[in-house]
Amino acid sequence: MTSVGIDAIEMRTGKLRLDLPETFAPAQGDDPGKYTKGLGLTASSFPDVYEDIVTMGANAAHDLMERKGLEPEDIGRIDVATESAFDNSKPVSTYIAGCLEQVYDGDFHHANKGERKFACISGTQSLDDAYNWIRAGRNRGRSALVIATDTALYARDDPGEATQGAGAVALLVSEDPDVVELSTEQGYGSADETDFLKPQQQFPSVDGKRSVQVYLARMREAVKDFESVAGKIHPDDAALIPFHTPFPGMVRKAAALAFRHVSRDTEIEEELAPEIGRQPRREAFDSEEAFREAAADYTDDLTDTDAYREWYAETVEPTLTISREVGNWYTGSVHVARLSGLKAAHEDGIDMTGEKLLVGSYGSGAQAEIHAETVQPGWADEIEALDVDEQLAARYELTFEEYEDVHDVHNHDEDAGAADVDQFTAPESEFVFDGWGRMG
Ligand code: HMG
């Protein structure tokens, strides 16, 4: 069997930028440090009034097809992952295919199309589906297009408002991929949870503090399940660990627990013992509460060590750079983290070929997945071809009043009012939302 994985990546950010310390914090009466230091965010990407999940997804897919010289007949499958869908029957992939058919001679009538839903993890589930389709030999030499697209908006004054974001990631999944090969090594942690959900409503109902704990619990389960197939993880195993990143502060918490787990019973624990002692063992404690307290204290000490700081700086920090500037893209978030890590490595002149990535995906509701990927020789050319910095720099800087107007425009609630939609100019060479039609 030939290798299967991600052959190319493209992203499209929402065209507006909301600065958190300069614009959002003062309007909320908050210390900017809550956003920059606590959550780890400097800005969010916000959708302009003519953008939605279809336009962002179609523009990302079109960029990818143009760059790779693809025609519709080269694509046998289009899977869209989103939790911002506006149609309970017709999948977003059909809307996106319809956009693309306006600018290509061929059509996608032969392509299997679908829509995946499981909060943020559905982006990775769609990637898994595409991988399985090719590995099963049903692709007839064709590639799959996986598009993760979301407008991750919260109700005004919800604690999640600062973590908003909007953007799409398009992944081309093929045989003999240029970016990463996916491995069969995979682990899950999944349970029925109700800390973040949108039952027939646009904006989520969120128990934010609990959602953080659920993320950590499911991720812990996924790591154990992964180790049951791949063997114990060692901190040196992965060159990068892209996590689902609702905000970088969440990843900081996940990384600390991950390092505690993977350094247990290794030479790292041995070397650190004179400095911070050994990891608490559950069997040595009378109660679960006492064990948890000791484990939390140990984790605090561990994150102060050079060993942890170096590991974090090399394997986790590079994956957060784009996220700090764009916020949560829900289904696209973990794929932005992978892209961010590879981009940083490329800028630092690090050769990642053959290196392993451990990808930690998560979706509320809740499920975590850990899987392994191996970086392929074509990765640097693919990363070099992207215009991430240009897209981020070209965003229109919102005032707080403009932000309030645009948030109202995207609010499906009829009573929310409407902004002056003419205040921003839609580009002519892109897919834009113009009411009931879309133009190329
Ligand atoms: P909050 O309660 O307003 O914030 O919102 P906080 O008071 O907890 O402060 C946040 C952090 O900033 C804290 O750090 C503070 O100490 C710190 P921590 O203690 O957690 O390390 N802080 C400061 N630091 C420096 N200087 C200051 C300062 N002030 C405070 N001046 C909350 C936080 C996460 C609840 C909120 O953002 C929220 O509800 N977010 C939405 C839910 C979410 O993102 N959950 C994450 C896990 S669930 C997930 O990832 C799935 C998701 O993507 C959806 C899906 O799967 O579809 C969301």
* Least confident among 19-23, 26-30, 430-434: 430-434
* 2, two tokens: 């030939």
Model confidence at 437, in pLDDT bands (50, 70, 90)?
very low
Taking only the tens place, the pLDDT of each residue in 26-78 is 999 999 999 999 999 999 999 999 999 999 999 999 999 999 999 999 999 99
Question: Does 219 sit in the ligand 1 pocket, CB within 6 Å?
Answer: no
Output the CA 355–ligand 1 centroid distance in Å.
Answer: 32
Catalytic residues: 83, 120, 244
Mean pLDDT of 236-245: 98
Predicted local distance difference test score (pLDDT) of residue 214: 98
Q: What mean pLDDT do residues 73-90 have?
A: 97
Kind of pairing between the strands at 16-19 and 396-397 = parallel
Q: What is the pLDDT of residue 440?
A: 45
* Ligand 1 centroid, distance to 328 Cα (angstroms): 12
Q: Where are the beta strands (DSSP E) in 84-214?
A: 112-116, 143-152, 165-175, 180-190, 196-197, 205-206
pLDDT at residue 14 greater than cutoff 60: yes
- What's the rounded mean pLDDT across residues 369-377? 98
Q: CA 83, CA 411: separation in Å to the nearest integer?
A: 15
Number of H helices and number of E strands within the chain? 15, 15
DSSP string, 158-186: -GGGGG-EEEEEEEEEEES-SSEEEEEEE
Residue with structure tokens 């493209």?
10
Output the CA 247–ligand 1 centroid distance in Å: 8
pLDDT of residue 435: 65
Q: For the chain, first and last CA: distance in Å?
A: 39
Model confidence band, residue 438 (pLDDT cutoffs 50, 70, 90):
very low
In the numeric block, which tokens belong to residue 342?
Answer: 């590879």
CB distance 254 to ligand 1 below 6 Å: no
Count the alpha carbons within 13 Å of 400 in the hemisphere toward its beta carbon.
Answer: 12
Residue with CA nearest ligand 1 atom 2: 159
Confidence of residue 428 (pLDDT cuts 50, 70, 90): confident
Report how far ligand 1's centroid is from the alpha carbon of 424 (Å): 31
- Residue 425: the pLDDT is 65
Provide the number of structural domains found in the chain.
1
pLDDT per residue as tens digits for the range 338-353: 999 999 999 999 999 9
Ligand 1 close to Cβ of residue 119 (< 6 A): yes
* Average model confidence (pLDDT) across the chain: 95
Residue 41 Cβ < 6 Å to ligand 1: no
Of ligand 1's atoms, which has the minimum distance to the CA of residue 209? 35
Instruction: Say yes or no to pLDDT of 436 above 80.
Output: no
What CATH number is attached to the domain comprising 395? 3.40.47.10
Asked whether 365 lines ligand 1 (CB < 6 A), one says no
Looking from the CA of residue 162, the nearest atom of ligand 1 is 37
Q: What is the DSSP letter of 337?
A: H
Residue whose CA is at the smallest distance from ligand 1 atom 53: 246
Instruction: State which of 157, 195, 201, 364 you would mutate to test the pocket of ligand 1, scoring each by most atoms of that ligand within 8 A of its C-beta.
Output: 364
Is the predicted pLDDT of residue 418 greater than 60, yes or no? no
List C-alpha distances in Å: 304 to 181, 248, 269, 301, 309. Answer: 34, 18, 14, 5, 7
pLDDT exceeds 60 at position 419: no
Q: Which residue has the higher pLDDT, 161 or 422?
A: 161
Q: 416 lies in which domain range?
A: 4-439
Going by C-beta distance under 8 Å and a sequence separation of 6 or more, which residues neighbour residue 41? 20, 35, 162, 163, 247, 248, 323, 324, 327
The rounded distance, in Å, linking the Cα atoms of 279 and 389 is 42
pLDDT above 80 (res 121)? yes
Closest CA to 213 of 233, 238, 191: 191
CA-CA distance, 276 to 299, in Å (whole number)? 10
246 lines ligand 1 (CB under 6 A): yes
ipTM beyond cut 0.90: yes
**Ligand 1 neighbour 370 (Cβ under 6 A):** no
